[in-house]
């Protein structure tokens, strides 16, 4: 048995960033990766989808994805060639001794095995026309008619991009509104804008069956309707990738919710950590990366101030949407005192100059001169604007401090200081 300081299972953004950071801190790291390095994010998630978003046509998207993904993958391989890192290109399996994976043993182990798409239990789900996000990204031809089941982040991003490429897109969603984590007012405006551009949404509709490319669903009045499609994307969420060998280690986990972890992402077995999608906390690439860094800090006894309660997220539709902190609806439900401040892109000089006048900012703050609590935005470059507010929230700043910060004119960021 070979000894090392840290074993990491999985080289997605959680695993490879943790390996890079640990190696720079002087730890000897062994990384197991059973597929391509880069994980879901680089190979079939964030990067391919954003390459699609920034391509003019389906064929250009395919070509650019074939260049961008290998280029970034070789960057990750470069990171993992650090002298303190040994990359083992095989599946990491725990043996009965809980601190042993493959031929290696270590006092600390990080599980970063990611997630898989979650199918829905309806008859016909195995039809060859049904794909998940990975299947959709591997299509060689643009579907004429695309039906998307689920109006979460993945469903909405694909709806937006495939509509722009020329597919006839129909979305079927069980809930009343798309993107449940987003402020409902903003989510509704975004959906209405996408509807105006030609995407059909069937909200409060439950899919009952799929047969020969026809998706049958029950509408909110209890009537059965159907949509015919050449390709059906199931985008109903993802489930943590838990493995059968985890049982021999003895930590708590749940097939649906993932591996149970504490505030340091340590499982119920000391020295074994679970980061990223597999712990089911915040299924985002940047969350996985920061969790990995925090775990390494915890292992080496270094304090950090990473605020996992302040987690920005973006939806790369057209127009874009993004948020950080609680939505107005949630604050109301909780009975939290707050003030809501709004502004609109149509009053912003740069937005007008860009022809990007569809958009809205909602900032929630503590009452009076209190701190900023959240930002929910839709409109061009919403993610970049939310990133700015994230910095202010992290520093505990007030709206007045945001307003007193000089913003370059003319920029979209002025829309933040234009809130009423």
Ligand X SMILES: Cc1cc2nc3c(=O)[nH]c(=O)nc-3n(C[C@H](O)[C@H](O)[C@H](O)COP(=O)(O)OP(=O)(O)OC[C@H]3O[C@@H](n4cnc5c(N)ncnc54)[C@H](O)[C@@H]3O)c2cc1C
CB-based burial of residue 9 (10 Å sphere; 0-12 exposed, 13-18 middle, 19+ buried)?
Answer: buried
Q: Which stretch binds ligand X (CB under 6 A): 142-150, 283-291, 302-310, 356-364?
A: 283-291
Query: For residues 11 and 131, which CB has a smaller minimum distance to ligand X in the complex?
Result: 11
x-or-dash string of contact with ligand X, 106-125, rule CB under 6 A: ------xxxx----------
Query: For residues 199 and 322, which CB has a smaller minimum distance to ligand X in the complex?
Result: 322
Which of residues 19, 147, 154, 274 is near ligand X by CB under 6 A? 154
Question: Is residue 253 a contact partner of residue 242, using CB atoms and an 8 Å limit?
Answer: yes
Task: Please list every residue from 16 through 35 that binds ligand X, using CB under 6 A.
Answer: 32-35
Which of residues 27, 41, 171, 385 is near ligand X by CB under 6 A? 41
State which H helix or E strand residue 85 sits in.
strand 85-88
The crossing angle, in degrees rounded to 10, of helices 58-79 and 13-24 is 30
Task: Please list every residue from 49 through 78 that binds ligand X, using CB under 6 A.
Answer: 49
φ and ψ at residue 373, rounded to 5 degrees? -100, -35
Question: Is residue 112 a contact partner of residue 10, using CB atoms and an 8 Å limit?
Answer: yes
| 90 upstream amide cis, omega within 30 of 0 | no
Q: 72-77: which pairs have CB atoms within 8 A and are 24 or more residues apart?
A: 72/38, 72/42, 72/47, 73/36, 73/37, 73/38, 73/42, 73/43, 76/11, 76/16, 76/37, 76/38, 76/42, 77/37
Binding of ligand X by 288 (CB under 6 A): yes
List C-alpha distances in Å: 57 to 61, 148, 166, 167.
6, 19, 8, 11
CB-based burial of residue 396 (10 Å sphere; 0-12 exposed, 13-18 middle, 19+ buried)?
Answer: exposed
Identified catalytic residue from 264, 298, 407, 409: 409
Which of residues 6, 22, 27, 40 is near ligand X by CB under 6 A? 40
Question: In this structure, what token pair is assigned to residue 354?
Answer: 């860009």
x-or-dash string of contact with ligand X, 289-328, rule CB under 6 A: ----------------------------------------
Which of residues 5, 6, 51, 92 is near ligand X by CB under 6 A? 92
Beta-carbon count within 10 A of 49 CB: 22
- Residues that contact ligand X, how many (by CB under 6 A): 35
**Active-site residue 294, yes or no?**
no
Binding of ligand X by 10 (CB under 6 A): yes
Q: Cα(214)–Cα(231) distance, rounded to whole angstroms?
A: 10
Which of residues 19, 46, 205, 377 is near ligand X by CB under 6 A? 46
Which of residues 14, 143, 319, 325 is near ligand X by CB under 6 A? 14
Q: Which stretch binds ligand X (CB under 6 A): 263-271, 273-281, 294-302, 348-356?
A: 273-281
Binding of ligand X by 133 (CB under 6 A): yes
Q: List residues near ligand X by CB under 6 A.
A: 9-15, 32-35, 39-41, 45-46, 49, 91-92, 112-115, 133, 154, 241, 243, 276-278, 283-286, 288
Q: Show which residues are catalytic.
A: 409
């Amino acid at each position: 048995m070979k000894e090392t300081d840290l074993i990491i299972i999985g080289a997605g953004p959680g695993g490879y960033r943790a390996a890079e950071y640990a190696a720079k801190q002087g730890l000897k790291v062994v990384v197991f990766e059973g597929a391509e390095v880069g994980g879901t994010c680089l190979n079939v998630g964030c990067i391919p989808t954003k390459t699609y978003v920034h391509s003019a046509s389906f064929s250009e998207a395919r070509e650019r994805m074939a260049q961008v993904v290998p280029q970034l993958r070789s960057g990750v391989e470069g990171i993992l060639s650090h002298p303190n890192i040994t990359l083992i290109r095989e599946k990491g399996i725990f043996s009965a001794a809980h601190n042993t994976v493959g031929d290696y043993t270590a006092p600390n182990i990080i599980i970063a095995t990611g997630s898989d798409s979650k199918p829905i239990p309806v008859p016909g789900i195995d039809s060859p026309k049904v794909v998940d996000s990975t299947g959709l990204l591997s299509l060689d031809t643009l579907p004429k008619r695309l039906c998307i089941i689920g109006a979460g982040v993945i469903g909405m991003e694909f709806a937006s991009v495939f509509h722009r490429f020329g597919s006839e897109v129909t979305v079927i969603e069980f809930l009343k509104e798309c993107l449940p984590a987003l402020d409902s007012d903003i989510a509704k405006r975004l959906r209405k804008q996408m509807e105006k551009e030609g995407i059909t949404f069937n909200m409060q509709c439950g899919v009952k069956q799929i047969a020969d490319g026809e998706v049958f669903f029950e509408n909110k009045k209890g009537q059965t309707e159907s949509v015919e499609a050449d390709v059906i994307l199931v985008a109903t969420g993802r489930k943590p990738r838990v493995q059968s060998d985890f049982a021999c280690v003895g930590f708590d986990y749940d097939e649906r919710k993932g591996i149970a972890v504490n505030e340091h992402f340590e499982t119920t077995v000391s020295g074994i950590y679970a980061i990223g999608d597999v712990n089911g906390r915040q299924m985002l690439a940047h969350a996985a990366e920061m969790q990995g860094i925090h775990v390494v800090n915890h292992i080496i006894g270094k304090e950090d101030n990473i605020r996992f309660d302040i987690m920005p997220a973006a939806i790369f539709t057209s127009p874009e949407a993004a948020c950080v902190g609680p939505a107005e609806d949630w604050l109301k439900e909780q009975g939290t005192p707050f003030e809501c401040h709004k502004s609109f892109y149509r009053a912003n000089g740069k937005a007008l100059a860009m022809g990007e006048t569809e958009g809205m900012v909602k900032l929630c703050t503590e009452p009076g001169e209190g701190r900023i609590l959240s930002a929910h935005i839709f409109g061009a470059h919403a993610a970049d604007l939310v990133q700015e507010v994230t910095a202010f929230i992290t520093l505990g700043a007030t709206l007045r401090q945001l307003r007193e910060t000089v913003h370059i004119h003319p920029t979209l960021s002025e829309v933040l200081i234009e809130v009423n």
